[in-house]
Amino acid sequence: MALKRINKELHDLERDPPPESEYTIAPIENDLFKWQATIMGPSDSPYSGGTFFLSIFFPTQYPFQPPKVCFTTRIYNPNVNSYGSISLDILNRFWTPAFTIRKVISEICLVMIEPNPYVPYPLNPEATLLYKTNRALYEATAPSDDEARSAELLAVIL
């Protein structure tokens, strides 16, 4: 079931790709269960001009279980911890098989534009506090496109 669904989503993305100015997404080395996404920092966010990589791992129970998605590029955001884990409801308790990887990446782009600092347990408490108390300083601190850290995180994840 998972392979059939992943193939369908890949075909849909190839047939109707997202604008390259937003993100790209594809399997890694023909392994349909491991993908990489590259998000270009949204222009209406503090990440404008940055390039952010994410690793995507589909479980064998996909789409009945959500994919595991992590930033491999360091990003300063209330909803992302230092390991790249993302706090996103649709990747946890609100996941349904109706969601696609396109929807997941679109939601991650939205979190980059407008983080949700009001979750009960923010993944980055420091960024959350700064976002709530000093938005200008948060926006100056947020652009973090650290390639060395990206390689480090990817090694931990893989």
Write out the catalytic residue numbers. 109
Pairing of strands 68-71, 51-57: antiparallel
- Cβ contacts of residue 142 below 8 Å, gap of 6+? 45, 46, 47, 75, 76, 77, 127
Residue 144 structure tokens = 């973090």
Q: Taking CA 59 as the corner, what is the angle to CA 55 and CA 61, rounded to the nearest 5 degrees?
A: 155
